Every structure is written in structure tokens, then in C-alpha cells.
Structure 1
Amino acid sequence: MELEGSQELAATPAEVWQALFDRDILEQAIPGCESLEQNSETSFSAIVKLKIGPVSARFKGNVELSDIVPGASCTLSGKGSGGIAGFAKGDARVTLTSEGNVATLDYKADVTVGGKLAALGNRLIKSTAQKLTAEFFSNFTTALSGETEETAI
């Protein structure tokens, strides 16, 4: 399944790039993230609890960053297992461009799911992935601006 999109962020590409590698910001931004550990400059391990249709699971996974062009682009490769719920794995190419103080983050991902998740069908999985992507960017924008729930009220 392919997912692609674009998100404008009210920050410079340098600020967005730094935030993409910031463990604390990513932990706040990833929907359902229970823990995120940075294993090296380019690898993370996470535990994420998600509900996709009738299937609820705690996924344990890893993400590696490669093909890094500092401040401009990188490839994220990840895989996660949710036990009997199934697994997900995929790659995403992320590219940053700018116009003034607005950075545009473009992404194109190819994702594969298996197990009970695969039985749910592509439409449900794709709509859930789009919802989670929107939630990630909303959380990421809030974390990037330095707002907390208290200051956003």
C-alpha cells in the first residue's frame, strides 16, 4: 500500500530537520507512543499502542534512517510486530523544501501489513494510516512550536 502527502510547517527546514531527529519531539508526536528509545543517531526503538478497526495491539518496532542528505531528505525504514494482531513494515522517503520561514515536508511511503491487520482490508488500513498521519503532524507541529497542552488552552 502506498501513502503520500505533503505538510506545510511554520518553521525553517533546519528547525524541522532537527525536530525529526529529536527523540522527545518524536515521542510526543507519534500517536499512541508509549516509549521511544534512540539507539544511535539514526535508529530508534518504539512501543506504540494502536487501534485499527476492531484490532487493538501494542506494537514493538524499530526505525532506521538512511540515505540522509542533511537538512533536505532521508529514508525511514521500519518494521513492527503486534503479536497476534500482525505486523507492519515499510519505507518512507521524506523530503524538505522551503519558502521563507515555511518548510514543506513531502513523504512517500510503501507499507506492507500481515496477520489480522491484513484481513481488515486496504481501505480500512489506508484510512487509519491517513488519520494517524494527520494526528502525527498535528502533534509534531505542536511539539515543534514548543507548546504544551497547558499553553495551548
Structure 2
Amino acid sequence: MQIEYSHKFHIPRETVWKLIQEEEVLKKSIPGCKSFIRGDDDIYHVEMGLSVGPVKGVFTGQVRMEHQMEPSYYRLLMKGKGMPGEIDATAHMNLEESNGGVIVNCRTEVMVTGVLASVGQRVMGGVAKLVLGQFFKSADTEMRQLASRL
């Protein structure tokens, strides 16, 4: 399943680049985040609870950033497991300058198994876009607060 999402931040691209990778920003922005701990080799261990439509449960997993091309691109590899199934995703994050800010374009390929796969791509796509929207809205708030202090 492919999912695309874009969000415009009204702060400079270099600031978004720096802050979107800050552990504290990520921890506060991931919907339902229970823990977010940096491990070895820039791998983050994540635990999050979701309750969106038919997708309910606690997921544990790993997130790793790679192929970073500052300040315009990086790739996220995500794997997660929970009672409703497993998620394996790759997100391509492009940061493009735009009239006093930056647009972050997220293109994600997602594979799901278990109960998650049984709810269908349309439902899962809607849930994924809702979660991405919540993440970017929270990240925007966190980054604007931190950017005002820089």
C-alpha cells in the first residue's frame, strides 16, 4: 500500500531539518507514544498505543533514519508489532523550500499483516493518513515553540 502526505511548516528548512530529527520533538509528536528510546546505530525503539477506527492496540517497534541528504531528504525504515498485526514501512521524506517555509512530502510504502491486513487498504490508508496528520500537526507545534527560542 502506498500513502502520500504533505505538510507545510512556516519555519526555515534548515530548522525543520534539525528539529524533525530531535528525539524530544519526535517523542511528543508521535500519536500515542508511550516510549521513544534511542539505541545503537541511530535506531529508535518505540512503543505506541493506537485507537483509530478498527486499529486498536499497543505496538512496539523500531525506527531508523538513513540516506540523509541534509537539508532535503532522508528515508525512514519502520517495523512494528502488536496484537492486531505487524507493520513494515519505508517513508521517503522530502523537504522543499516554499514561500517562507518548507513543505515536507512523505511518500510511504506500507506492508501489513494479521488483523490489520484484513481491514482493507482503504481503511488502513485512512487510518495512516489520520496518524500522519496528527504527527505533523503536533510536530509543527513543537517545532514552532523550539524555533522561537533559537
TM norm. shorter chain > 0.5: yes
Shift of 1:72: 1.1
Q: 1:67-146 counterparts in 2 under 5 A?
A: 67-82=67-82, 84-146=83-145
Distance in 2 (CA, whole Å) between partners of 1:120 and 1:106 is 26
Shift of 1:42: 2.9
Q: Give per-residue Cα distances to partners, 1:71-117, cap 9 Å, x unaligned.
A: 110110110000x3111011011011113530111111000110111
Moved over 6 A (4+): none
Distance in 2 (CA, whole Å) between partners of 1:99 and 1:126 is 27
Shift of 1:17: 0.7
1:94–1:105: 8 Å Cα contact kept in structure 2? yes
Shift of 1:53: 2.5
Using the size of structure 2 for normalisation, the TM-score is 0.91
Which ranges of structure 2 fall in alignment gaps of 5 or more residues? none
Q: Which residue of 1 aligns with 2:6?
A: 6
Q: Give per-residue Cα distances to partners, 1:51-84, cap 9 Å, x unaligned.
A: 24334211001011111102110110110000x3
Distance in 2 (CA, whole Å) between partners of 1:22 and 1:89 is 23
Using the size of structure 1 for normalisation, the TM-score is 0.89
Cα 1:22–1:74 shift into 2, 3 Å: same
Q: What is the number of residues matched between the two proteins?
A: 146
Residue 36 (structure 1) aligned with residue 36 (structure 2) = yes
Which ranges of structure 1 fall in alignment gaps of 5 or more residues? 148-153
Q: Which residue of 1 aligns with 2:53?
A: 53
Provide the secondary structure at the position in 2 that maps to 1:51. Answer: strand
Q: Percent identity?
A: 25
TM-align CA RMSD: 1.5
